[in-house]
C-alpha cells in the first residue's frame, strides 16, 4: 500500500473531534522507516491532495474531523506549546472582557515560558507568544482553564498587568470600564 493511502486510512480511522491537529512528528511512528525529508514530502503531497490542511509550519489539520474551525487558532497554539507554561492574555482576554475598544481579528496573544515569536497560520491568522519569567504558581489563582480552546486564560486584571509588564500600548483600553484594574 502506498504511504499516502496509509496516511488517509489512518486519519479516517483515528482522527476525531478531539484529535484532528497533528505535528509532522506525530506521523513518524506510522512510518518508522521513512526519513524526515521523505515524511515532509509525504505531508506536502497530502496537503496538495486535500487530505490534510497546513495550518502553520509543522502543524496539519485533518479537516474532516475538525468541528470547531473558530477554535483552530487557539488549539494550534496549545499544540505548539504543549510542553510550556502558556496562557491567553493581553488583548485577547481584554477584548473578550469588553475592556478594549477594538476586537483583534484572527490574532491571539499568549504569555509563555517558551520563547517569544509570532506564528503565521495562513487564513486562520496569527499566534503571538510573549515570553514571561513568571512561574505557574505566581499566577495560578488568576488563571481559568478554557476547555474549548485547550488553554489557560488570564483574568482581565492579570491581562492588564501583563500588558504593562510587556510595555504594550494601553491606549485601546477603556479606562472608564475597568474601574480598579489600573
Of 16-25, 29-38, 75-84, 93-102, minimum mean pLDDT range: 93-102
Pick 110 or 178 by higher pLDDT: 110
Domain ranges of the chain: 3-67, 70-173
Provide, rounded to the nearest whole percent, the portion of the chain with pLDDT above 70: 95
127 strand-pairing partners: 108, 119
* Structure confidence by residue, pLDDT tens digits, 33-56: 999 999 999 999 999 999 999 999
Confirm or reject CATH 1.10.10 for domain 3-67, answering yes or no.
yes
Distance between CA 88 and CA 34 in Å, rounded? 37
Mean pLDDT of the chain: 89
pLDDT at 172 over 80: no
* Structure confidence by residue, pLDDT tens digits, 142-155: 999 999 888 999 99
pLDDT at 139 over 60: yes
Q: Which of 66, 172, 17, 57 is nearest to 109 (CA)?
A: 172
pLDDT at 97: 86
Residue 93 and residue 72 in contact, taking contact as beta carbons nearer than 8 Å: no
Q: Which of 6, 28, 110, 22 is nearest to 63 (CA)?
A: 22
Residue 51 and residue 7 in contact, taking contact as beta carbons nearer than 8 Å: yes
pLDDT at 157: 94
pLDDT at 152: 95
pLDDT at 1: 86
pLDDT at 175: 63
Pick 122 or 181 by higher pLDDT: 122
* Structure confidence by residue, pLDDT tens digits, 92-133: 999 888 888 777 789 999 999 989 999 999 999 999 999 999
pLDDT at 182 over 70: no
pLDDT at 178 over 80: no
Query: Per-residue b/e over 150-178, b at no fewer than 16 CB within 10 Å?
Result: bbbbbbbbbbbbbbeeeeeeeeebeeeeb
Amino acid at each position: 500500500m502506498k504511504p499516502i493511502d496509509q496516511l488517509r486510512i489512518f486519519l479516517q480511522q483515528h482522527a476525531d473531534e478531539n484529535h484532528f491537529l497533528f505535528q509532522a512528528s506525530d506521523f513518524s511512528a506510522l512510518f518508522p522507516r521513512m526519513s524526515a525529508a521523505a515524511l515532509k514530502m509525504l505531508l506536502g503531497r497530502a496537503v496538495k491532495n486535500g487530505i490534510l490542511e497546513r495550518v502553520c509550519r509543522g502543524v496539519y489539520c485533518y479537516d474532516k474531523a475538525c468541528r470547531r474551525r473558530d477554535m483552530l487558532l487557539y488549539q494550534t497554539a496549545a499544540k505548539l506549546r504543549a510542553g510550556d507554561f502558556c496562557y491567553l492574555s493581553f488583548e485577547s482576554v481584554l477584548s473578550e472582557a469588553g475592556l478594549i475598544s477594538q476586537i483583534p481579528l484572527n490574532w491571539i496573544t499568549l504569555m509563555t515560558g517558551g520563547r517569544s515569536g509570532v506564528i503565521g497560520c495562513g487564513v486562520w491568522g496569527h499566534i503571538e507568544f510573549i515570553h514571561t519569567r513568571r512561574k505557574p504558581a505566581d499566577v495560578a489563582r488568576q488563571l481559568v482553564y478554557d476547555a474549548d480552546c485547550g488553554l489557560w486564560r488570564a483574568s482581565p486584571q492579570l491581562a492588564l498587568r501583563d500588558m504593562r509588564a510587556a510595555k504594550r500600548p494601553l491606549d485601546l483600553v477603556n479606562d472608564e470600564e475597568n474601574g480598579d484594574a489600573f
